[in-house]
Amino acid sequence: MKRILFHTIILLLILAANCQKAGAQQSFDTVFISDKYTTSFLFTTNAVFARLSSEDYAGAAFAEATNEVVYVRAKKPFTEDLSLSVIEASGRPHTYFLKYAEHPGYLQVDERYGGRRSKPDTLRLSSTLMTTLLFSSEIVASDLSRRRLIEGDVVKESPNIFSVMAKTPHKETSSLAILEESGAYHTYIILNDEHPSKLIIDERHDKAENAKGNLSVNASRIDDAPSLQDVYNLPQSLYHIGTQHGRIRVVCENVFTYSDVMYITIRLDNNSGISYETDGAIFTVKNRKKSKRTDDSGITRIPSSKYKGLSAPAGGSNKVTYAFEKFALNPNQVLQVTIQEKGYEGYAGRTFFMTLSDKDINLATRPTKSAE
């Protein structure tokens, strides 16, 4: 009887393992791409690896200013199997099964929000009149899918402004993607209209962002929450959270909460003779006491948006303010902040660790000044 029970348990374990393996094999995320538009993939940290299974049907490229964005566009309609594999600097892998659709329902896959897809806005352009787009923060990266039809670029004198117009009247469609320094991302389907109703598109107070559920508090406020710039400019109020490696020091200046938004400001002072490049901070909720029986890899908390960055030249300083959906820690948890030197992820380099306690998070106060 014991032998029969033993073999039955073994058989059930084998079946469970096979089912789990089969489920993992079918866990590809399907994304539709087109040869008319650019599809953008946004990641929490820089992508250190991005490759298509075949370049016969599509092309992939990093945004010029940041590896946090990967652009993909089909070269032609296709029915063959095609995949995109991406690995972030944090070690997080992604695999997408790509299919062709002439007019996809979305043009961005935002892994900062769990792979959320947002429907693009429509932008109508004339070949005789310039259209101007205004954003809340500087434009970090932009992509026009068909420059033979559309011309446009960031205004050098005002880097938060993008000017664009059609080259000639046409019936084809194209797309425009804009990444702000705050982390806000915008995608547009472009149509030719020789008599557009609007020539100024003001995204600085775009109420539609809140309707989509974005927590981009820099570009669109939630209730009366202060913007990321407002919090970024506040003086330091915390002095007990910091770490130092050689002549580089990292400190947590502020932790604030307002409504359902949490803000964390981190500063890096580089007094060494070598510049320090980083993709930013990684936030992980971990157990205060390690246990041999449980996995201590922790839970990563992904910022919803950020303002500025931590990379600093030799002898310079820089800081960044992150916004999160509000969260709390229990007495047995801490928030570990990891800052890795770019190019050395996972080995060597100058890596910094800071620990925020449950009291640092749970007792955070409102900013002393809020935007009216």
Class of CATH domain 120-220: mainly beta
Select from 139, 209, 138, 204 the least CA-distant residue to 176.
139
Q: Is the pLDDT of residue 191 over 80?
A: yes
193: pLDDT strictly greater than 70: yes
Average pLDDT over residues 181-197: 91
Q: Which fold has domain 228-362?
A: Immunoglobulin-like (2.60.40)
CATH 2.60.40.3440 residue spans of the chain? 30-117
pLDDT digits (tens, 9 = 90+) for 286-304: 988 765 555 456 788 888 7
3 state SS of 182: coil
Q: Could you tell me where in the chain the CATH 2.60.40.1150 domains are found?
A: 228-362
110 Cβ contact partners less than 8 Å away, ≥ 6 residues apart: 42, 116, 117, 118, 185
pLDDT at 45: 86
Average the pLDDT over 357-368 and give the result.
92
Of residues 342 and 239, the one with the higher pLDDT is 239
Fold of 30-117: Immunoglobulin-like (2.60.40)
In this predicted structure, the answer to whether residue 372 has a pLDDT above a threshold of 50 is: no
What pTM was estimated for this model as a whole?
A: 0.55
Is the per-residue pLDDT at 305 higher than 90?
Answer: no
pLDDT, mean of residues 198-226:
56
Rounded CA-CA distance 77/102 in Å is: 8
Average pLDDT rounded to a whole number, residues 321-345: 87
Average pLDDT over residues 96-103: 96
pLDDT over 50 at 147, yes or no:
yes
Residue 55 burial (10 A CB sphere; 0-12, 13-18, 19+): exposed
CB 100 within 8 A of CB 187: no
Q: How much is the pLDDT for 103?
A: 94
Residue 252: pLDDT above 70?
A: yes
